[in-house]
Amino acid sequence: MVGLRFWNLLPGAEIRRVKTVALLLGLAFAVHPVVSEAVCWVKSLDDIMASVFTLAALYSILAWTGHDHEKPLKGALVFFVLAVYSKESAVPFAIVAFFVFWSIHRLSFKQSLRLSSGFLFVAAFYVVHRHLVIGRSSQTAAISGTYTEGTAG
């Protein structure tokens, strides 16, 4: 759906061709070996959840027409919060949101910054919240300890 929404924004695009490209993009994502690990491992559920929520946020931003300022953008922010709290690799989407407003919706730099400020706030809030909960910003030690623990010396 996101591929279809993106390709529909191109001027002069044939709907049949757009649907074909969107279908092929979706199939490529579904069967590509890089994403098979996320499907095969239960531990990788966070990857799938973050991907789905990030794509839903992108779809909501692309669906925004500018007439109804509230509904699609609030939905996109909710999806972004869910994506970020699913996996921290979704945080850079806040910058992607800015570029979608600026280059695809062709808004001014100032308008794009204003509309993407909610995404930037969510990203900053998540980073601070993560730091406060974990106690540091870098990755933590393994839950099971280090490799040197438990070895007889």
Average pLDDT in the chain? 78
pLDDT, average across residues 112-116: 91
Does residue 13 or residue 122 have the better pLDDT?
122
- pLDDT at res. 83: 94
Model confidence pLDDT, tens digit, residues 1-21: 555 555 555 556 677 777 777
- Model-wide pTM > 0.75: no
Residue 111 CA from chain centroid, whole number = 21
Model confidence pLDDT, tens digit, residues 80-98: 999 999 988 899 999 999 9
Q: In angstroms, rounded to a whole number, what is the distance separating the alpha carbons of residues 136 and 71?
A: 36
- pLDDT at res. 57: 93
Q: What's phi and psi for 30, nearest 5 deg?
A: -70, -35
Q: In angstroms, rounded to a whole number, what is the distance separating the alpha carbons of residues 42 and 58?
A: 25
Name the least confident of 7-21, 40-54, 104-118: 7-21
